[in-house]
Amino acid sequence: MNIGTIPLISAIVSFVFGITVIDQYYGRRQLFQLLWTIGLFMYGISAFTEFYTETYGLHLIMFRLWYLFGAICVAAFLGQGTVYLLTKRRTAHILMAM
């Protein structure tokens, strides 16, 4: 098994899980599901950039995409989705504004 297949599988699973969560969002309209969907798609993009880099070599745009999505945005969106799930809506709105 090529080492690049693990990030590719991770990206595919993340995209499939993101589609599942967005489907739940359309049914229930809970904001945490929307934020988790965004985070999952960003994680999928990040994992795909890792696959691309391991397969074809490092390119500046892939590094920038990985850094933006994987290193910065994924944790923020998944974390804020969890805040909306576990706290009062007013508190979550305040934290989101920060």
pLDDT per residue of the chain (98 residues) written in tens, 0 to 9: 677 799 999 999 999 999 999 999 999 999 999 999 999 999 999 999 999 999 999 999 999 999 999 989 999 999 999 999 999 999 999 999 98
d(CA 96, CA 98): 5
Give the pLDDT confidence score for residue 2 in this predicted structure: 75
The distance of Cα 89 from the centroid of its chain, to the nearest Å, equals: 22
Specify the DSSP class assigned to residue 66. I
Strands (E), 1-98: none
Q: What pLDDT score was predicted for residue 20?
A: 97
Is this structure's pTM higher than 0.85? yes
Structural domain span for residue 74: 5-97
* pLDDT at residue 89, as a whole number: 94
Please tell me the distance from the alpha carbon of residue 74 to that of residue 95, in angstroms, as a whole number: 16
The pLDDT score that the predictor gives to residue 52 is 94
Domain count across the chain: 1
The residue to which tokens 């500046």 are assigned: 60
CB-CB contact of 8 with 52 (8 Å): no
